[in-house]
Amino acid sequence: MKIRLKPLLASMACLAMTGAPAFATSSFTQFGQEVVYSAKQQIGLPYVWGGEDPNRGFDCSGLIKYTFQEFNVSLPHRADLQYKYGNPVAKSGLQAGDVVFFATGGYPIGHVGIYVGDNQFIHAPRRGRPVQVDSLSSGYYSQRFVGARRFQPDFF
């Protein structure tokens, strides 16, 4: 998978110009924060079945596809197919930017969102509800959590 480096390198360059010493950090941590920042720009946009861009709106897998496409990571536009990408992550090991999957609508994997931290995730829930942040511990989502995946480029 290819990852767009501009936002990541720009933030690193800003840190370097502060004169603060450079420390090795988890590259995924920085990448995940960039993913979350990008996804949060879509909060409030309408749910549109089949939607995958901010001009029209998003469905759940379209939001994931669009957000990761911003970083040159190509994903299909279906939650069940997205679940086949990346590496599995235990619920206890979730980091910002991980993708969380749920069994909904009678499907083994029918819904998807992006973990933002603090047991919260951003998603396009359903018709009539805009892109928003919800809790993984809410009854509905906690009972339907299937797993999580981390889309991590090879160079991390």
- Residues acting as catalytic residues: 60, 111, 123
Give the β-pairing of 132-135 and 120-123: antiparallel
Q: What share of residues in the chain are helix, strand, coil (percent, to 5)? A: 30, 20, 45
**Neighbour-count burial of 53, counting CB atoms closer than 10 A to its CB (0-12 exposed, 13-18 middle, 19+ buried):** middle
State the virtual CA torsion across 81, 152, 31, 20 in degrees, nearest 10: 170
Location of structure tokens 């360059």: 13
User: What residue type is 118 in one-letter code?
Assistant: D
